[in-house]
Chain A
């Protein structure tokens, strides 16, 4: 499956070497946490994840083509 990660401005302000979008092809279903590590992103830096526009969780398993939004630690109230 093709999983496309979209990194927020806040995340890229920390991971300055990474692009705005990263595409990863995987054969088996995989957790978001593992996808992040594969992409070189420490899961601890991601405050909010969306999967195809809806709120997701890092331990959620992805078994289809998906667009993943990643928001970095620039938030909080």
Chain B
């Protein structure tokens, strides 16, 4: 399973960000989502979807081995995380997020809530067993 972005379909609505935060934190707060929608205005006038592709760079960077592969997703173990934020710097896509309410960075869990809510078919959940 993996998430794929179809950027040209994105309208910038960010329902994905809300759905992500709701699914992973049960909170109505897009600042606690694990993906980002970037508007490129005024030129070229479109949106880019910044998704986690489970590349594992964060796991490699983690000095505490707090990030490990569980199934197809790299997940952060909150108990092991010391909040050093090296993973945030290491992420090549900038999709590890820091939020004041939690020491552990926010990372995509591959739950698929973003793909499910997207009314534009701009995020797709593909593959799978």
Chains A, B in direct contact (C-beta < 8 Å): no
Q: Which residues of A are in contact with B by a Cβ distance under 8 Å?
A: none
